[in-house]
Each structure stands twice: as C-alpha cells, then as structure tokens.
Structure 1
Amino acid sequence: MTFFFKRTYFFALVFSLSAFFFSCSRLPNVQGKGEALLQGVWNQDSIANSSKLLTYTQHRFKISCDSFYVDLTTFSKVNYYSDSCFNKGVWKEYAKGTYVVKGDTLMLNGTFTKDNYKQKVSGCYRTGRYLTNFKIKSSGANSLVLESLNDQRECALVLKEKITCVPKEL
C-alpha cells in the first residue's frame, strides 16, 4: 500500500508542476497598443455653465498607445487649500499612467505627478493614486465626449493633434 500512495503522490506532484510551468507565459516587454480612436492630444476647450459653478476642472489628455498624461486645470471660487496653495483660485495638477477601455468605460489608472510627469510625493493639491473612470458617451474623428463616473460632469474634448502608436520597450 505504501508504494501505491508514493506513486500517486509522485504523479500528482509531476502533474501539478507541469501544469504550473506550461500554464505560465511571459508577457512581452513592450507597451500595449491601446485604443486607436483615443490616440492623440485632446483638449477640453470649454465647460458648460462654468460661470455658475463654484469649482470646475478643465482636462488636457495626451494618449499614446496604452499610456495617458493628463493636465488638470482647476478654477475655484472656494478655497479648499492653504492660502499659499490656493493661487487665487486657479491651479494645475498632473497625472500619468495607463488606461483600459471596457465596453463604454474608459478606466484611467495612474499617479499624480509634478509638471514634468515625475512622481509627486508631497506639496500642494493631490498626491498618490489617480484613479478615474469615464463613460464614453460619443466619439468622432475629432471629438470625444466623456462623462465622469465620479460626478457625472461631461468632458467634451477636441482633438488637437493625432498620435500614431509606436509601442516602446518597457
């Protein structure tokens, strides 16, 4: 009986190790291609009813392959920060990361950065993770309308420059 159990154990071990080694595949060391319709520099030139809002943010996206860079310019009539950071109600924030489109949802996963897109660990405004989701309401050759899933505000973007994805090594 012991021989039977040792033999069964041996085959179970060999099968488990074989399944482990053959089921794993190495990912390529290049970035993904992303979505063709999103490739480019997109500006939010205006915001509806901005004069009536206490706070609003204009977006500028640069999307290349599966990566994004976003410049966020916030205009506020209310001081949320210390006086040295409030900057008379206008300030900029920056973030970069990768994105995924699933169905009609654009999911951005990145970090807040300095204006040179290097990591930001302290200072005025937000630091840490930049996690934002948008519903893609409509898209055309030169226009893209997103709706923030955080606050349901619409973000109407205009294509300023088309970019062709050339995946880079990671």
Structure 2
Amino acid sequence: MIFKKPLYFLLFTFLIFTYASCTRLPDVQGKGEVFLQGIWNQDSIANSVKLLNYTQHRFKISCDSFYVDLTTHSKVNYYEDSCFNKGVWKEYAKGTYIVKGDTLLLTGTFTKANYKQKASGCYRNGQYISNFKIKSSSPTSLILENLNDQRECTLVLKEKITCVPKEL
C-alpha cells in the first residue's frame, strides 16, 4: 500500500483535486468588443443650454480597456470655490469594461490627466463605475443611455483602433 496513514491519503487527494481544478489566468489583456474599439467623442448634448449641468464624454477603448475624459459644465457649484473653475472642469478615469447583453459595464478608477491614479484633489476620487445601455451602434456612431441618470450619450467615432493585446 502506497499510503500507510489515512491522513497522507487525504492530503494527497486534496492536492490532486486542487491542482486539477485551478486554471491559470492569461498573461495578456482580453480582446474586448470589436465594435467598440476606437476613440469616441460626444460632440454635443441635446438641450445643453437648458440643463443645470451636463457632462461630455470622450472614450478611448482599446481591447478590454477604456480611458474616459469627462468634461462637466455646471451652473451650480457643488465643490469648493477653488475647484469650481467657473463651472467647467475635467475628470479622467480608466479601467476595464464588459458588455453583457445590451449593457456596457465600466469599472475603473478616477485618475489624473496622465491616467495615473488620483488619490485626492478636486472632484471625484476612487472608483469609477458607470453603466450604459447600448441603444444603437454603427461603424461610426454609438448611442448610449446612462443608466444612472437616463441621459443619452451620442458618440461619434473619431479614430478606429485595432486591438493588440498587451502583456499584463
């Protein structure tokens, strides 16, 4: 008999099952969705003159990663006077995305303008989580509905990007 004690047999069996059940994650980023790859700008916002605040989006989507520039215009000051910047300010975020059915799920962190992590300062810090319903898409346009405030985000493709997965 190979195993003289039941404890060794149990330990050996546990190790075999543990090894067999583990799967190694790939060492490269995912490919993402082909139809989203590119630089997308929200050139205008319907009824922006009538709104108290609105945010214009600029997305760069490459493979399974996104970078977003958010330009907010506000008639109401939600921040310290030194941060309000006459009602126009920029925020940045980066992270990864997935598409589930008709929903685009973005998960990342707020960053500085160079996309390095932002730990403090004006505006939002920490996690960036945003979900959009994909209302329609074509090779040159994308219409999203923000699921937080139901505002429509009409994006125009400015530059197509081909995904070349990078090592993690």
Range into which the TM-score falls when normalised by the shorter chain = over 0.9
Which residue number in structure 2 is paired with residue 64 of structure 1?
62
Q: Residue 105 of structure 2 aligns to which amino acid in structure 1?
A: M
Matched position secondary structure for 2:131: strand
Which residue number in structure 1 is paired with residue 110 of structure 2?
112
User: In the aligned structure 1, how far is the partner of 2:34 from the partner of 2:57?
Assistant: 20
Q: Residue 164 of structure 1 aligns to which amino acid in structure 2?
A: T
Which residue number in structure 1 is paired with residue 163 of structure 2?
165
1:45-56 matches, cutoff 5 A: 45-56=43-54
User: In the aligned structure 1, how far is the partner of 2:102 from the partner of 2:14?
Assistant: 39
User: In the aligned structure 2, how far is the partner of 1:15 from the partner of 1:142?
Assistant: 56
Matched position secondary structure for 1:97: strand
Q: Residue 59 of structure 2 aligns to which amino acid in structure 1?
A: F
Matched position secondary structure for 1:75: strand
Which residue number in structure 2 is paired with residue 125 of structure 1?
123
Which residue number in structure 2 is paired with residue 91 of structure 1?
89
Which residue number in structure 2 is paired with residue 101 of structure 1?
99
Unaligned runs of 5+ in 2: none
User: In the aligned structure 2, how far is the partner of 1:120 from the partner of 1:13?
Assistant: 46
Which residue number in structure 2 is paired with residue 15 of structure 1?
13
User: In the aligned structure 2, how far is the partner of 1:134 from the partner of 1:18?
Assistant: 43
Matched position secondary structure for 2:85: helix
User: In the aligned structure 1, how far is the partner of 2:52 from the partner of 2:138?
Assistant: 31
1:22-37 matches, cutoff 5 A: 22-37=20-35
Unaligned runs of 5+ in 1: 1-5
Q: How much does 1:14 deviate?
A: 2.9
RMSD: 1.2
User: In the aligned structure 2, how far is the partner of 1:25 from the partner of 1:89?
Assistant: 50
Q: How many residues align?
A: 165
Matched position secondary structure for 1:122: coil
Q: How much does 1:9 deviate?
A: 5.1
Q: TM-score, normalised by structure 2?
A: 0.94
